[in-house]
Copies of this chain bind each other. A is one copy, B any other.
Amino acid sequence: MKISESKYRSCPYFLANAVARKIEKLATEAWKGTDLSPSHAYLLMLVLEEPGVQPGCIADQLQLTPSTITRLIEKLEEKKLVMRTTEGKLTNVYPTPKAKEMKAVLKECSEEFYGQYTKMLGKDESRQFMQSLMKMADKL
């Protein structure tokens, strides 16, 4: 059933969730080859771009709570993709050599994802949707 045929079509609650889940699926597909979920992949990309970045900063940038970041980092540590060092109350997160080797693949996945997203929505609309989402994220 297309969502537009549902009685709940005009409910922002289900719409927002449905859209998020569909994008999640698209992203999961794109990053499949890396054996990382999109969240883990983005966190890793962030750490690769800013080695030593702190969990709190990651939380801000990815719009997730600190506790979620801790959990994501734990999993990446298990996979030997990041390392934590703690001094005082601050923690720094660094990519391992293994992670650095993945840089190119991660970028490809990222492009695959954007490509799919743009393809499905159309060039103009995909940009417009992004704008809408950005405005919503800021205003809510």
On chain B, the residues within 8 Å of A80 by CB distance are: none
Interface contact B4-A138, CB-CB below 8 Å? yes
CB distance from A108 to the nearest CB of B (A): 16
| Residue A9 CB within 8 A of the other chain | yes
The residue in chain B whose Cβ has the minimal distance to the Cβ of A131 is B132
Q: Could you tell me the distance between the alpha carbons of A22 and B140 in the complex, rounded to whole angstroms?
A: 6
Identify which of residues 92-140 in chain A touch chain B, using a CB-to-CB cut-off of 8 Å.
Answer: 113-114, 117, 120-122, 125-126, 128-130, 132-140
On chain B, the residues within 8 Å of A138 by CB distance are: 2-4
* A17 in complex: contacting residue of B6, B61, B63, B134, CB < 8 Å: B63
Interface contact A42-B8, CB-CB below 8 Å? yes
Q: Could you tell me the distance between the alpha carbons of A129 and B19 in the complex, rounded to whole angstroms?
A: 12
On chain B, the residues within 8 Å of A120 by CB distance are: 139-140
> A8-B61, A121-B140 known; A42 and B14 CB under 8 Å?
yes
Q: Could you tell me the distance between the alpha carbons of A19 and B63 in the complex, rounded to whole angstroms?
A: 10
* A130 in complex: contacting residue of B15, B17, B63, B133, CB < 8 Å: B15
On chain B, the residues within 8 Å of A8 by CB distance are: 42, 46, 61-63
The residue in chain B whose Cβ has the minimal distance to the Cβ of A128 is B132
| Residue A55 CB within 8 A of the other chain | no
| Residue A85 CB within 8 A of the other chain | no
> A132-B128, A140-B23 known; A63 and B13 CB under 8 Å?
no
